[in-house]
Amino acid sequence: MKPAHYVNGAFTVAGTSFPLRSPVDGSLAGAVPEAPRELVDEAVRAAGAGLAGAWGEASVEERCEFLRRIAGGIVERFDEFVDAEVADTGRPRELAATVDVPRAIGNFRAYADLAYGRPERAHPTNVPGWSGGGRALNYTVRRPLGVVAVISPWNLPLLLLTWKVAPALAAGNAVVAKPSEETPSTATLLAEVIDEAGLPAGAFNLVHGRGAGGAGEYLASHAGVDAIAFTGATATGAAIMRAAADHITPVSFELGGKNPAVVFADADLAEAVEGTARSSFTHSGQICLCTERVYVQRPVFEEFVAGLAERAGAWRDYGPMISAGHRDKVLSYYRLAREEGATVVAGGGVPRFGDRRDGGFYVEPTVLTGLPESARTVREEIFGPVCHVAPFDDEEEAVRLANDSPYGLAATVWTTDLSRAHRVAPRVQAGIVWVNCWNLRDLRTPFGGVRASGIGREGGEYSLDFFSEPVNVCVRI
C-alpha cells in the first residue's frame, strides 16, 4: 500500500517524501509524502466547501447509508486492511484480524445506527410574567460543528482513526484526517473505501505527514478548523491545545496513562496474574490502556510476582516497538530502572530470535520491583511491555497509591469481594475502572481520561455530543 493524500475527492502524492521502515526487521518499507502547508489549506477549504454543498445538504438517513457503505467496503477488503495494519505496526496478525479491523467496521455500523435512531428533546412550557410570558414549545436540534480535524496515533491506527471519523461524519461534519507518519497505510486504504462509497467531495480528506513542523501542526493551528479530535501523547496534546487556543477551537483529547492495577489478597490469583500479564504485555504495551503500575496486597505479593515473572518469560505473542526511536526510549527506561535501584525479575533487554526479526525493534516483556513511588520509572509513561510491582497493606493505601499519578485513564481492580469492588472502583481517579477483567469494552459507554490523560469522552452518544452543537428553538404558541 503506497500512502497518498486524499483531498477534495482526489488522490495525490504532493510534497517531499520520507522513508517508512518496517518495525519487524528495520527494512525500508516505503515512503510517506509530507503534505505541505498549501495542501493542508486546500484540504480544509475542500471540507468547508463540502459542508456548503452536497455533504452539508445530506440528510441523516443519507449520511448513515454512506457509513454503512464504508463498513461494507472494509468488509470486502478485509484481508488488505489486515495486511496493511500488520505491515505498518508489526503487531500479531491475530490482533489485527480479531480486534482492529472488526472494530473499524463496527465503528461505522454503530454510529450509523446511533445517529439514525437518535431522539431529540421537546419541552412544552408555560412561563408566566417574564418576557411577556405565555406558552411555548422548546425543542432541541443538533447541527454539525463544521470542519473537524482528526489526528490519530500509531499504536492502533485504523481502530482509533475510525473511532473518530465515524461519529464525526455521522453528525454531519466534514473531516480532515492526519494519521501518524509511522502508520499511513490503513488510512490510505480507508480513503479508497470512502471514495468508492461515493461520499461527496470534501466530506472526507486525508493528509499525511509529521506532527510538529509538519501537516499535524498546520492542521491544528488552521483558522478554518472548527474542532480537533486527537489521541496521542500528553505532551503532543498540550502542543495542540496551544495551537488551537488562538481560535478557541474545541478539543477532544484521549492522552497518555500510567495505569494502575490493584490486586487484593482475596483475588483469584491465577486470574489476576493472567489478566495483569495481558494488560501489561499485549501489543508490547503499546496501548494507552495498558498497565504499568501494579499494587499487590502483601500476603500474596511474592506469589504474584513469581507468577507474573513466569508469564513474562513465557510471553511469545508480541510485536515490535513501532520504531527504532521508540525502542530506544523503552530501553532507556529499562536502564533508568536499574540506575534507580529496581530489581529486574523478568526481561529487561532485547530478545534474540535468530531470524530477520533481530533487525527489528523488539524489547522483552519486563517485570520490575523495588522502586519507590517517587522514581521516574514509576511515575512516567513508558509505553512498552513493562510494569513495576509494589506491595500494599490495606484498602486505603491501595486507593492512595493508585491515585498517586498525574494521569487518570484506566485502572483494574482484582478482588472476589463484591462490596470491596464497589467501594474501591469509584474512588480510583480514572476514566474507566475494570473489575476482574481488562479491556472489556462496550462501545456505547463513555471512554476517556482525567487530568493529564485527556479532555472529554468518546463512545456512543458521548462522541455524537462532542461532534455536534445543540441548538434550542423556542416557539411561542
Active site residues: 254, 288
Q: Which of 64, 215, 201 is CA-nearest to residue 149? A: 215
Q: What type of residue is 336?
A: L
Cell matching residue 284: 508490547
With the CA atoms of 48, 51, 53 and 59 taken in that order, what torsion angle do they form, in degrees rounded to the nearest 10? 170
- Judged on CB neighbours under 10 Å (0-12, 13-18, 19+), 263 is buried
What is the spatial distance between Cα 105 and Cα 92, in angstroms, rounded to a whole number? Answer: 19
β partners of residue 149: 176, 228
What is the spatial distance between Cα 381 and Cα 89, in angstroms, rounded to a whole number? Answer: 20
Q: Which of 471, 455, 469, 458 is CA-nearest to residue 167? A: 458
Contact of 176 with 149, CB cutoff 8 Å = yes
What is the spatial distance between Cα 233 and Cα 221, in angstroms, rounded to a whole number? Answer: 18
| Triad 158, 278, 163: Cα angle to 5° | 20
Number of helices and strands (H, E) in the chain? 17, 20
Q: How close are the terminal C-alpha atoms of the chain, in Å?
A: 60
What is the spatial distance between Cα 358 and Cα 142, in angstroms, rounded to a whole number? Answer: 53
What values do phi and psi take at 228, rounded to 5? -130, 130
Cell matching residue 407: 494521569
| Triad 74, 78, 80: Cα angle to 5° | 105
Secondary structure of residue 206 in the 3-state scheme: strand
Contact of 397 with 365, CB cutoff 8 Å = no
What is the spatial distance between Cα 316 and Cα 337, in angstroms, rounded to a whole number? Answer: 23
What values do phi and psi take at 290, rounded to 5? -65, 150
Type and span of the H or E element at 324: helix 324-339
DSSP state of 21: E
- How many other C-beta atoms lie within 10 A of the C-beta of residue 471? 10
